[in-house]
Structure 1
């Protein structure tokens, strides 16, 4: 469920190819830097909400005016309202190349969204509240009861997986739930799923979460957006893609949680192991394209997916 909302890492779409609210964009649109972005006041703003792993919180928002019906990426941020009215937003550490903490930056729910609404899992919200409170270990958790919790949404356009369109980022207004309680939920590394011939193309649907559990690639560090998993692959044609959350297969026009080497639902050419029994490329993008290694001999393979750089590396061990 966590990746249904991310980690998470995590799915960002190609701007200018698809539309976020189901309408095709006009040909040759003129980009406009948006000036307003509205997150709607939730209906349950004054209700008492005890968060749990089994409940959700519903939010809706309008699409910013980019000058055309752009395929925007939305990210949700959670904050805790303090006694003086200030908001402590969920943030994470920024590290240098040596792993040293050099600052802080805003942190968002782990799954990026591409439509103008979301049912946010209660566990993820609780994790973000605890993160804003500075709680990183279960033994540090203190129940603070019902509090005023803030939400806002960031919208942006991306070319390919990580190339931000300049001037396209905009933050919504802030809305509040006046009585919301967290629980002992500590953020864990995000994950994505390998789906393909190794697991007989198990459908990426919530009902199959248990069957796909052994096929998770786990984030190497919380918030790193680098995922890794090692699996024993049977002999035969090796063909696969990845899913950042489980909803359904997606399509060429709406890939949903699917990421691969191209948008089109077809294998790319040129997938060959090098002299070190590895393969790498920087083609990662939202889509139903697949990698295919014909006549794979079988064995243990480590899959590494870097959502920051669009790069993948597959290594036969």
Structure 2
């Protein structure tokens, strides 16, 4: 009888241990990456949504089950939307934009808004832009109704720090789209300002005439949304030149200066920063990466660039003999310096017109290229083909050949 009692106690103890282990596993579930989750068909889906007269398109979805059981796995999830006009999900807009040749074509678009709960709304204007990007409609050929396929993406840190990405089912909705003119953000420029810089007498005038711009470099990558990337200036600076960099002409709030007056220790947005000071006259290169906030100012040795008294901008945009290199003269940006190599002009241009840069009223030295609105002019290069109507402020540096047509 005693042995039976002991056996019963042992059996009950084992059952209790098993129950405790089961409870412990339920309270500490194991991470399991689900294969999908459910994006709900919205109640408004039977009707086409007019994107031009709507602000948002609301959606709800179920949270992915990262525990593989009824017990939820405690994890923070970031949700976002992707849309397609064809229900194809092979190439995103991000991948297509990374191909600078333009050969890669996107079949779906990643919207940039993020959500942290299982509900959220797609911005109607952003959806209209995404559909224009994918379909590339002409302004007079936008369909009255378009089918859009939507899926939700869930991302969360998995074991070992590897990001888990799970996609929902696809939901089909109808919208009334409208034409969106697709434009990249204008490139972010910065300007040199100081003594011996600019056309203002005495220098240190934070004005259009008193500053010299750093220019974009053709072939560099620039963020389509922010316009940030690497820009450069190259030119001659006399000994004793002092300068800073400003982002907005006429405004000192955003600037680059030096922590100690040298060229080697730049600091950004420090109102108490010292001026950069040139100890030895010579040619210098200023390189600023506006995406990473890295600035370098270095001497350039071994160059003897020509110094021109005049740069003109002959081309078909002017009536009569527009290709006359003695007309359409640009303005020197830095006439007070020992050497000026920066030029500017403001012109009205139309798509299909052509032009070049020419020195000293002749075709002996000229620069051209095939790209617009910015590029590297090559000596004796092709005509620059204007691709969009507009009024432009034109900047040109005759050492580097860099040019930029800035739409006004």
Q: Provide the TM-score with structure 2 as the length reference.
A: 0.39
